[in-house]
Amino acid sequence: MLVALGLAAGAATIAVVLVGSVVARDRAAARAVRALGGADGAFRVTWLGVPGQSDTDFRSLDRRARGALSAIAPEPSFSVLLYRETRFGEALADLGAVDGLARWVRLASGRLPRKCTPIRCEVLQLGGVGRTPTLEGLPISVVGTGRLTSEAPFGSLIVAGAYSAARAQAIGYHAPSPPLFVADGVETLARLPALESIYRSYAWVAPVRPGSIHPWQLHALGVRSARTDAALHAASPLFDLVTPIDELQAAADSSRAGARRLLLIGGQAAALLLAFALLSGSALRRDLEAARRRLSWAGATRAQVVGLTVVEAAVVAAVATVIGFGIGAAAGAIVADRAGSPPGAVLRHALLTQGGVALLGATVAATALLTLLALLVPGARLGRLTVGPLEIGALGALAAVGVGFARGRAGPEELAAGGGTGALLALLPGLAAFVAAVLCARGLPPLLRLAGRATRRAGAPVRLAVLSLARHPGRSALAVAFLVVSSGLAAFAATYRATLSGNQADEAAFAVPADFVVAEDFSKLSYPLEVASLARYRALAPGVAALPVLRLPADVEGTGQGIAPTVLGLPAAELPKLRGWRSDFSSESAASLAARIRPARPVALRGARLPASARELSLEASVRGNAVAIFANIQSEDGGFVEIRLGDAGRVAKILRARLPAEARGGLLVGLRIGVTGPRNADAFENIGKGELTVGPLTAGSLTVRYEGWFGVTGVRRLGGSPVRLRYLVSNQVFSRFRPAEPTDGKPVPAIVSPAVAEVAGQGGTLPVDLAGQQLLVRVVGTAERVPSVDGDFVLMDESWLSTALNADTPGAGPVQEIWLRTPASDRARVASALSRPPFDTLEHRSRVAVEASLRREPLARGSLLTLAGAALAALALAVGGLLLALVNDLRDERGELLDLEIQGATPGVLRRHLRLRAGIVVAAGVAGGLALGAVLSVLVVDLVALTANAALPQPPLRLYADWAVLGIGAAAYLAATALVIGIATWLPFRDTRPQAVPEAA
């Protein structure tokens, strides 16, 4: 019974892993459909043209399109009609119709329209401004307003919310959008004679419901879709078929990589099963030998005796393995049903395929063969250390692992492709377990001999326990080897699970180094500091730290190697506090690196602070040469820049005046720009100004600026004198300025860079970096492998250094693109709610906690982590079962030795202590070896498999984590279970507890 239960448990684990991998892939496909959304998550047949130029009417098109979709789409379809930006008399409008309109709109006022008929066609206005279309032969009546709730009906032609005034303004439209009027029912509008000569688009849409398409259907679905597309084009070249198959296939490929990673767990279960088969075969040997002797006395032939052995091994292995697969299938069906996948289809594609049946047969054959070998082959005599088949096999296993690692790390693409990588993953636990078992078999006998010498002065139970183990080293080594394999694989599964889970937190912290990252929303063209000041971000909740961050694409000049790093500027003092920074990013600590780029004194733009009460700027100026336009550059209190045109300076001296806008009052005057006259956006190379400019003091209220320490840049040179004289050569193509000296002038900016960038640094570590046409000289003061929030090469600088250097010559060249918010844990929900409301809702924001939660919700990640947890529990259960089997076997095989001890006066208590000590030594040796095996296997797998729990390339790379709490609880539970098993197994045979004297000879 024990043998059958152990073999069944191992087989059930293999079956659960197979079913779990299919369930995880299926849930990943459903999640991919949900992520695709309206337009992309649907099968769509379109027809664009003019009906008057075609011999096919709408009913024929409708019949053919719906028939085509019914052959490939799992859900029923509906039809859509759109006249895009069409003029109906004096009205310019978008006019459309949808079958089942109520499903796709949300009312703002009025009511839903009734079905469009030739007598009266009711419509909803879904945004825009304009007249209602007037159609000959079809009265149109607007009965309500609303908005689209999905992109599914009209796809990319009209997206949900496209007609909102806020969106139109945000994406740069200056004229209002034409109105969109939509009716319920396509056929009436499609067959209206007055519109037969107008270009329109028909669409037949079949949305895909999450879970309606499964990974195992994609290949056949792709083939049918290709045939359907060809048939539609043959019917009319104006037909087009769009499907989500490519996107679903990409998701399936990604999930396939994660599912193949589960081969590790399958290999672990197989290794456990085979190891238990060896242990169980050795446990059955004594019973089988007794049966063979009885049969021989009864006249059985040698063939009959061998037949008995073969049949017993095959029957036990086959029945137990098949039952185990059945139990695993039942458990897998429950898991599939709870997850929302069809249990029958999952089992069919996980276990009842050719591969699944072949695996079942191979498992039965391997289990039966190993059990038979353990029954037939005499116990190994483990004496002196020699090189035999076991050692040669172990060396071969090590060589196989070495060859696998020589191929390099396996990422998502390699795992998705399969091949040798998947085979190596499946074999890796077994190969490692085999090497550990051989080491245990060869290393335990000498250790037992040493232990025997070391315990000569110990008590009788201890000496007897060590002596009995040393007397049967083969059997002892087999028991210890099985415990090493089972506990080692349990430790590996628990550690690998902790590694994948820990790296999910690392991945989220790397992507979002603070609690929140607030960034520019490119569709709305607003920067964080244009929306609110730093003070307002810090006021979101008590204790909030708001960090201004610059992120710019760059090119490294003069390298010829095509290095395009990301330039990241953040307050240097905050680098050690980033959640995403890890010690393996650099050989130096984050604090040491931060000290190298942190300025000794605060760095900021210099200039003249304007009085808050000032309302006007004035400047007297004249030129000898071409007239020029003079602009004042002012940094506002929120960190942004304002440029104010003072006026044009000509040959006659005059006072130029300009009103100060509210955002510039109290700001910092950081210089004057001198440009050519003419339109502000003029773009002509020949528009060049040359001459000499004389400027008097600039006044703003009570402030008078006399330009001490100011100088000219980019075509402007100070000649001296009072008033100040400037020689200029300016054009539209350059930014010519007269400005104060800045602390970054003539100094390279210290930076931490990636190794690839450091390699191309010049003498003294200097490096010219091009930032959108502005060159910045950088001095490399340290290197790091990576920095949070940047994927690839980088140049990391202090934000104040970088901002000052960029804005010195070109104010506004270095705007703050991001604000990183570090918030108390108790206020995160409050801050998240505030960021979703005005004025912050025009910005994009990401939460580290939300990113991590999304990673953990991903079906493949959850499936991987649950499977690893189940594998660890199964391995521990088999370890306890194997120990119980070894104990029962010892009690039966050593009846003679135990009887001798009892005859010599050993009491039941002494015998119990003797057996418990011996079992304790076996458990201790097995756990110690198992922890070593688990550690080695974890390091090997983390180094080989470059894959996160979500089946993606890890960023940052995987780092080994050990959840000591889980390991401690698991170890405590295992030791408690083994203590219980040992106690019960040794109590039952020796229940006579009468005290007796123990002779000295015992």
Closest CA to 232 of 48, 84, 76: 48
Quick one: pLDDT at residue 423?
58
Q: Partners of 207 in the beta sheet? A: 42
To the nearest whole number, what is the mean pLDDT of the chain?
A: 80
Closest CA to 429 of 473, 484, 470: 484
Of residues 383 and 704, the one with the higher pLDDT is 704
Q: What is the pLDDT of residues 829-858, one digit of tens each?
A: 999 999 988 888 888 889 999 988 888 877
d(CA 339, CA 25): 11
d(CA 354, CA 260): 17
Residue 198 has pLDDT above 80, yes or no: yes
Contact between residue 586 and residue 788 where contact means Cβ atoms under 8 Å apart: no
Q: What is the pLDDT of residues 30-52, one digit of tens each?
A: 777 777 766 677 888 988 888 76
- Span 233-248, mean pLDDT? 85
- Span 341-358, mean pLDDT? 84
d(CA 866, CA 870): 6
Contact between residue 543 and residue 770 where contact means Cβ atoms under 8 Å apart: no
Longest dimension (CA), the chain: 135
DSSP 8-state symbol, 881: H
Of residues 631 and 297, the one with the higher pLDDT is 631
Q: Which residue type does 764 have?
A: G
Least-confidence region, from 211-215, 386-390, 488-492, 554-558: 386-390
- Span 75-86, mean pLDDT? 88
Quick one: pLDDT at residue 622?
93
The pairing of beta strand 668-676 with beta strand 628-635: antiparallel
Residue 642 has pLDDT above 70, yes or no: yes
Retrieve residue 225's tokens: 């879709």
Of residues 831 and 20, the one with the higher pLDDT is 831
The continuous run of DSSP H or E covering 93 comes out as strand 91-98
Closest CA to 497 of 850, 858, 871, 857: 871
Between the CA of residue 194 and those of 85, 89, 117, 413, what are the distances in Å? 17, 12, 15, 56
Distance, C-alpha 273 to centroid of its chain: 33
Quick one: pLDDT at residue 516?
94
d(CA 944, CA 405): 7
- Span 65-69, mean pLDDT? 90
- Span 789-802, mean pLDDT? 91
Token pair 């970054």 in the structure block, residue: 744
Retrieve residue 461's tokens: 């139970």
Contact between residue 30 and residue 859 where contact means Cβ atoms under 8 Å apart: yes
Residue 752 has pLDDT above 90, yes or no: yes
Quick one: pLDDT at residue 167?
37
Of 4-8, 480-484, 723-727, give the range with the top mean pLDDT.
723-727
Q: What is the pLDDT of residues 295-305, one digit of tens each?
A: 888 888 878 87
Q: Which residues contact 733 (CB under 8 A, 6 or more apart)?
A: 685
Calculate Rg over the CA atoms of the chain. Answer: 39
Q: Which residues contact 452 (CB under 8 A, 6 or more apart)?
A: 463, 466, 467, 470
Residue 877 has pLDDT above 50, yes or no: yes
d(CA 506, CA 508): 5
d(CA 740, CA 871): 69
Quick one: pLDDT at residue 159?
45
Quick one: pLDDT at residue 523?
56
Retrieve residue 87's tokens: 């003029």
d(CA 108, CA 125): 10
Quick one: pLDDT at residue 412?
56
587, exposed or middle or buried, with CB in 10 Å at 0-12, 13-18, 19+? exposed
Residue 411 has pLDDT above 60, yes or no: no
Least-confidence region, from 339-348, 408-417, 552-561, 620-629: 408-417
Cβ atoms within 10 Å, residue 737: 25
d(CA 341, CA 333): 9
The continuous run of DSSP H or E covering 775 comes out as strand 774-783
Of residues 406 and 114, the one with the higher pLDDT is 114
Quick one: pLDDT at residue 151?
79
Residue 190 has pLDDT above 50, yes or no: yes
Of residues 334 and 161, the one with the higher pLDDT is 334
Quick one: pLDDT at residue 525?
59
Quick one: pLDDT at residue 169?
37
Strand, helix or coil at 906?
Answer: coil
Quick one: pLDDT at residue 385?
47
Token pair 């889970």 in the structure block, residue: 501
Q: What is the pLDDT of residues 903-938, one digit of tens each?
A: 776 667 777 777 777 778 888 888 888 888 888 888
What percentage of the chain reaches a pLDDT higher than 90? Answer: 17
d(CA 934, CA 56): 70
Quick one: pLDDT at residue 712?
92
Least-confidence region, from 291-295, 570-574, 667-671, 777-781: 291-295
pLDDT-derived band at 683 (thresholds 50, 70, 90) equals: very low
